[in-house]
Amino acid sequence: MLSNFLSYIVQGTGVTIAVTLIALPFGLLIGLLLALLYNYGNRWVARSAGIYSLLMRGVPPIVLLFILYFILSGRLINLSPFWAGSLSLGLVSSAYQMEILRGALAAVGAGQMTAARAIGLTRLQAIRYVILPQAIRLAIPPWSNEASIVLKDSSLVYALGVPEILRRAQQLSATTGQPFLAFGAAALIYFCLVFLTNRALDYLAEKTKLPTQPV
């Protein structure tokens, strides 16, 4: 019976991973777009992107989840709890990813853009071939942090009834009367997921690191 229960919690891992795999790239897409608008758009565009970031970071993720699922979904678009949850987390994350990326873009420096334009690259080409490859390298370590946060925040979708790890642990804690076991198992799974994610991104950072040693 106990192994049944534990496997029941483990089944939630798939949901947790799926939510993260939707929220993170969705947030990256929007975050990147906003970071580019913020750094290279005109004053009003940049200001709007800044306000978006401020709003998204200022609202607790759970509130955004409720707004998207209970209020917007069903009137605009029909979103299942799973998608409403994943996309809300993506929206929240987009603001943080925007901050990471705009910091990275700024750190690349205006000179690189000037040099790229000077050989005749268009603005978009310069961003694509010169600025982004450098910015993304700079963004990997803070982004790794954000990935862990989204992974752990994915537990919030339980509030919409998506049976991910935490919700399953709650149910089992109630049924078995063994909260330590149930939540301990959940904590262990989260830890493993975060650990593996960070290691994978560390590896990526190491792989893409530019050589500095004189040869």
Partner 1 sequence: MASSLILQAKNLTKIYGENVIFRDISLDVRKGETIVIIGPSGTGKSTLLRCLNLLTRVNSGQIFLEGREITAPGTNEDQVREQIGMVFQNFLLFNHLTALENVMLGLTKVKKLPKEQARQKAMQELSRVGLADRAGHYPAQLSGGQQQRVAIARALAMDPKVMLFDEPTSALDPELIGEVLGVMAQLARDNMTMLVVTHEMGFAREVADRIVFMEKGSIVEQGAPDDLFERPQHARTREFLWKITELYGKKEKP
Partner 2 sequence: MKRLWLWFSLVLVLSLLLASCGQNAGGSRLKAIQQAGVIKVGTSADYPPFEFVDANGNTTGFDVELMNEIGKRLGVKVEWVDMPFDSLIAGVQEGKIDAAIAAFNYSEDRDKVVDFSDVYYTSEDAFTVVEGSSLTINDPAQDLLSLKLGVQTGTTQDDWLTALVDEGKLPADNLARYDRVDQIALDLKNGRIDVMMSDAVPAEALAKQLGGLKVIYKGVLSSGPMNIVLPEGEADLAKAINEILAQLKAEGFIENLAIKYFAE
The site for partner 2 (CB under 8 A) is made up of 1, 4-5, 8, 11, 37, 40-42, 44-45, 48, 66, 69-72, 74-76, 81, 158-161, 163, 167-168, 170-175, 177
Task: Output the six-digit token pair for 100.
Answer: 């990471």
Question: Rounded to an integer, what distance in angstroms lies between the CA atom of residue 137 and that of residue 142?
Answer: 10
| Residues lying near partner 1 in the complex (CB under 8 A) | 111-112, 114-122, 125, 129-130, 133-134, 137, 210-215
State the nearest-atom distance from the C-beta of 138 to partner 1, in Å: 10
Ramachandran category for residue 107: left, alpha or beta (phi over 0 → left; psi -120 to 50 → alpha) = alpha
User: Of the two residues 106 and 201, which places its CB atom closer to partner 2 in the complex?
Assistant: 106
State the nearest-atom distance from the C-beta of 195 to partner 1, in Å: 29
State the nearest-atom distance from the C-beta of 35 to partner 1, in Å: 18
State the nearest-atom distance from the C-beta of 210 to partner 1, in Å: 5
User: Of the two residues 147 and 168, which places its CB atom closer to partner 2 in the complex?
Assistant: 168
For the range 32-37, what are the long-range contacts, defined as Cβ-Cβ under 8 Å and sequence gap of 24 or more? Answer: 32/97, 32/98, 32/101, 34/94, 34/95, 34/98, 34/102, 35/97, 35/98, 35/99, 35/101, 35/102, 35/105, 36/105, 36/127
